[in-house]
């Protein structure tokens, strides 16, 4: 067996066997093949696709390419959730403690932001003292003791994905559904949880631009998870406009705190409650989705979710003073108001435009080595469907950069206003199980 024969087979649109895929992944992580071999095979996969069995086998071999976190000795159902990325998506900061407030074990490995999409780790690290660099042993200890922990991906976890992801990024093969699916699911499976909930975003601020593509990816993710004997479900959610109001690290932490105190934006709260309800049914707390949602809403109102949030942050070194006094967080030097120049109803707030503007203000990174300004970002004052008058505040812009007039003009253009009434969009589009 050799890599050139495997490349030729996929080039000719023939299915690879489990042993051929295993050989490829083992050779990749042991550096027995060159990057150009792997890149060529990725392009062949991109052009010709993969069968379901091939995707399952690729996912399993990537999962087994490094350490697998074994949570089996921790009592109870261990749950996990993954988002495909969006603008203003601070869901994990609310969802994880909300679900954990019921005694369910939440064990999550998260990522950093890149481009216009934010990363959970960057948001958590904007809380002074908060550490996401945990060993597997410490991660398991916190899940066992507090029922919740979130950490960054270690070097030992799914090394095949790290190599392939970097190659996909420079070979124009990122958009392959088999490669997207194996990348997401191999990391989730290696993280050791019993159940997985996938939040697949669709719209201008998401990787999936059309509902058709989002449904195809969702169904593929769920079917691969089930083939690997995991309770895997997916929701498709709207990312035409930013989620909630806040975009930017400290700004999103503040909005998460508001939401955990039952004062969050309607769309974001709805998403968190829906996800929590699904995860509670996955954990067998109840088999009734409506009842689970009512239970989750109760724990936002009675303070149990916020208490669990503080316990979690403290256990990973975070200073909980800032959670009780969010006004004490560090602030950006410059604040600008974007005001409405028309009368009417907001038809669209382009999520991609807002996300990219926030990145250029300092809230995100163009390359993984770029440094993030945790104070930078944008806070919307209006949402799609809202009525606006001339000179109404559309959003506030926060940055430490000077000479941002071009960025401010771009943000203003992200708001599309019509003279006729516009329907408020639903945040939850579909549920797949």
Residue in the block written with tokens 């105190």: 261
Task: Name the packing angle between helices 18-29 and 159-170 (round to 10°).
Answer: 90
Edge-to-edge, what's the strand order for the sheet holding 344-349?
A: 387-388, 344-349, 415-418
Q: Which of 22, 60, 78, 82 is catalytic?
A: 82
* Catalytic member of 183, 186, 191, 193: 183
Query: Tokens standing for 433?
Result: 């199980």
Measured CA angle at 118 (ends 116, 122), to 5 deg: 135
Quote helix, strand, coil % in the chain, to nearest 5. 45, 15, 35
Active site residue 183: yes
Q: What distance in Å separates the CA atoms of residue 183 and residue 227, rounded to the nearest whole number? A: 16
Q: Residues 372, 122: contact at Cβ < 8 Å?
A: yes
The yes-or-no answer on residue 162 being catalytic is no
- Per the annotation, the verdict on 83 as an active-site residue is no
Q: Rounded to the nearest 5°, which phi and psi values hold at 163?
A: -65, -45
Q: Which of 120, 116, 123, 87 is nearest to 375 (CA)?
A: 123
- Calculate the alpha carbon distances from 415 to 140, 235, 339, 401, 419 in Å: 45, 27, 10, 23, 13
Query: Could you give the CA distance from residue 136 to residue 156 in angstroms, rounded to a whole number?
Result: 10
11 catalytically annotated: no
Is residue 385 packed enough to be buried (19+ CB in 10 Å), middle (13-18) or exposed (0-12)?
A: middle
Query: Which of 37, 187, 233, 382 is an active site residue?
Result: 187
- Residues 80, 122, 158, 161: which is the catalytic one? 161
| Catalytic residue (choose from 168, 188, 230, 360) | 168
Verify whether residue 138 is a known catalytic residue. no
Catalytic residues: 82, 161, 168, 183, 187
């Amino acid at each position: 067996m050799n890599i050139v024969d495997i490349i030729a087979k996929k080039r000719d649109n023939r299915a690879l066997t489990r042993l051929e895929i295993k050989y490829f992944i083992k050779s990749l992580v042991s550096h027995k093949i060159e990057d150009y071999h792997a890149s060529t095979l990725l392009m062949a996969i991109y052009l010709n696709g993969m069968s379901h069995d091939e995707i399952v086998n690729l996912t399993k071999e990537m999962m087994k390419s490094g350490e697998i976190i074994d949570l089996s000795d921790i009592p109870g159902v261990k749950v996990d959730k993954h988002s495909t990325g969006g603008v203003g998506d601070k869901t994990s900061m609310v969802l994880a403690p909300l679900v954990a407030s019921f005694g369910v074990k939440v064990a999550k490995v998260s990522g950093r932001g890149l481009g216009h999409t934010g990363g959970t780790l960057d948001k958590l690290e904007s809380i002074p003292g908060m550490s996401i660099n945990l060993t597997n042993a410490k991660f398991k200890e916190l899940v066992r003791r507090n029922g919740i922990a979130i950490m960054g991906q270690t070097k030992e976890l799914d090394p095949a994905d790290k190599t392939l992801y970097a190659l996909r990024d420079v070979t124009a093969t990122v958009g392959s559904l088999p490669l997207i699916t194996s990348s997401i699911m191999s990391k989730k499976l290696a993280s050791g949880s019993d159940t997985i909930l996938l939040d697949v975003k669709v719209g201008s601020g998401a990787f999936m631009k059309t509902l058709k593509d989002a449904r195809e990816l969702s169904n593929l993710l769920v079917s691969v998870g089930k083939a690997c004997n995991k309770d895997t479900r997916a929701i498709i959610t709207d990312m035409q406009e930013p989620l909630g109001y806040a975009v930017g690290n400290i700004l999103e932490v503040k909005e998460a705190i508001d939401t955990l105190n039952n004062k969050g934006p309607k769309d974001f709260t709805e998403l968190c409650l829906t996800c929590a309800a699904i995860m509670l049914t996955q954990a067998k707390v109840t088999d009734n989705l409506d009842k689970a949602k009512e239970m989750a809403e109760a724990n936002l109102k009675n303070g149990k979710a916020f208490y669990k949030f503080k316990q979690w942050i403290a256990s990973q070194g975070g200073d909980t003073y800032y959670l009780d006094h969010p006004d004490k967080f560090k602030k950006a030097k410059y604040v600008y108001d974007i005001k409405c120049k028309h009368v009417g109803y907001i038809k669209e707030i382009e999520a991609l435009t807002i996300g990219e503007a926030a990145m250029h203000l300092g809230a995100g990174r163009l390359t993984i080595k770029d440094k993030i300004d945790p104070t930078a970002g944008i806070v919307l004052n209006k949402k799609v469907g809202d009525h606006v008058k001339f000179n109404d505040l559309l959003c506030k812009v926060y940055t430490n950069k000077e000479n941002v007039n071009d960025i401010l003009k771009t943000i203003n253009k992200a708001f599309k206003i019509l003279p006729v009434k516009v329907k408020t969009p639903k945040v939850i589009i579909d549920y797949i199980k």
